[in-house]
Amino acid sequence: MPPEIAALPAPPGDYAELVRRLRAEGARLPPRLRQVAEHMLAHPEDMAFQTTAEIAARAGVQPSTLVRFAQALDYPGFSDLQQVFRNRLRRESSDHRARLAALRGEASGEGGMARTLLEGFIRASQASLETLSGRTDSALIETAAARLARAGTVYLVGARRMFPVVSYLAYAFGKLGIRAVLVDNVGGLGAEQAAMAGPGDAMIAVSFAPYTPQTVEIAREAHRSGVPVIALTDGALSPLAVECDILLEVVEADFGAFRSMAATFALAMTLSVATAEKIRADA
């Protein structure tokens, strides 16, 4: 027979469980605590962000009551209860990030080095796709596609790590029957290849940190010559951001020193097919 240790009950681990718990035993809570529970369910966002003093004031109780409330639900303190609300707000993306961090932490877990690396790159790709799904303004893609659809020729610029993306775009555009030129810098003639572009054309420039100077330079030149430039880049700090007409932002997760390209490719695919659709719609 086990000794009578007060088996301290586990607090609800997530928001859904918390709500279930309150529904079950919320009725037999003391008046002030019930008041807190009601406020909590009515304003879950306040619970995530505000301080004890603020929440207490809004709920019409003392800060200490909040702590007591949390402890009545078996949390060590109010902060632990609050964490549940914060996690609820950030949803799955934190899941991915935590898993990535864990993977990075273990030197080489079970399954061997290759397994660890593979899982790491897969997680990084998944996280990137997740972010792309949540944060991308599809209207902006449509705008970009419309611009590309009107272009006589689409010039594709990108180097080093991003060259795969533009070479893919060259393939996709070709297959879709859209006239495109891959600025591949063969023979060092990148600038000359791109200089063919005029205001009736368009350019897709792809560059992520650390930005290849030549890509930025070519985009700048084109932009200043009146060529519509669509930038595929990693954010507002990119030097491409100021040298473009339409900025498509992509956030890629990394694993080790290597950044995923999954989101960038998905966006590139979308952009090319959307352009083809626009052309078809116009005709």
Residues 43-82 that bind a copy of itself (CB under 8 A): 45, 48-49
Amino acid letter, 156 = L
Measured CA to CA, the distance from residue 273 to residue 283 in angstroms comes to 16
CB 237, CB 263: distance < 8 Å: no
Question: Rounded to 5 degrees, what are φ and ψ at 203?
Answer: -130, 135
Q: Which residues contact 36 (CB under 8 A, 6 or more apart)?
A: 59, 61, 65, 66, 69
Tell me how far, at minimum, the Cβ of 121 lies from DNA, in Å. Answer: 30
Q: Which of 74, 119, 221, 245 contacts a copy of itself by CB under 8 A?
A: 119
**Is residue 98 at the binding interface for a copy of itself, with CB under 8 A as the rule?**
no
218 touches which of DNA, a copy of itself, none (CB within 5 to 8 A by kind)? Answer: none
**Is residue 109 at the binding interface for DNA, with CB under 7 A as the rule?**
no
Measured CA to CA, the distance from residue 250 to residue 257 in angstroms comes to 18
**Is residue 57 at the binding interface for DNA, with CB under 7 A as the rule?**
no
C-alpha distances in angstroms, 275 versus 36, 95, 129, 182?
53, 34, 21, 17
**Is residue 246 at the binding interface for DNA, with CB under 7 A as the rule?**
no
Tell me how far, at minimum, the Cβ of 66 lies from DNA, in Å. Answer: 7
Measured CA to CA, the distance from residue 180 to residue 193 in angstroms comes to 12
For residue 210, cis peptide bond before it (omega within 30 degrees of 0): yes
Tell me how far, at minimum, the Cβ of 63 lies from a copy of itself, in Å. Answer: 19
- Choose between 4 and 106: whose C-beta lies nearer to a copy of itself: 106
HSE, CB side, 13 Å, CA atoms: give it for residue 257. Answer: 2
**Is residue 26 at the binding interface for a copy of itself, with CB under 8 A as the rule?**
yes
- Choose between 179 and 200: whose C-beta lies nearer to a copy of itself: 179
Contact window for a copy of itself (CB under 8 A) among 62-70, 196-204, 224-232, 251-259: 251-259
- Choose between 80 and 245: whose C-beta lies nearer to DNA: 80
Measured CA to CA, the distance from residue 17 to residue 23 in angstroms comes to 10
Q: Which of 145, 197, 204, 232 contacts a copy of itself by CB under 8 A?
A: 145
Binders of DNA among residues 134 to 173 (CB under 7 A) are none
Binders of DNA among residues 65 to 104 (CB under 7 A) are 65-68, 70-71, 76-80, 82
Give the x-and-dash track for 220-239 against a copy of itself (CB under 8 A).
--------------xxxx-x
**Is residue 171 at the binding interface for a copy of itself, with CB under 8 A as the rule?**
yes
Three-state DSSP class for residue 212: coil
237 touches which of a copy of itself, DNA, none (CB within 5 to 8 A by kind)? Answer: a copy of itself
**Is residue 63 at the binding interface for DNA, with CB under 7 A as the rule?**
yes
Measured CA to CA, the distance from residue 128 to residue 131 in angstroms comes to 5
CA proximity to 264, closest of 182, 219, 207, 202? 207
CB 52, CB 78: distance < 8 Å: yes
Interface contacts to DNA, rule CB under 7 A: 30-33, 51-53, 61-68, 70-71, 76-80, 82
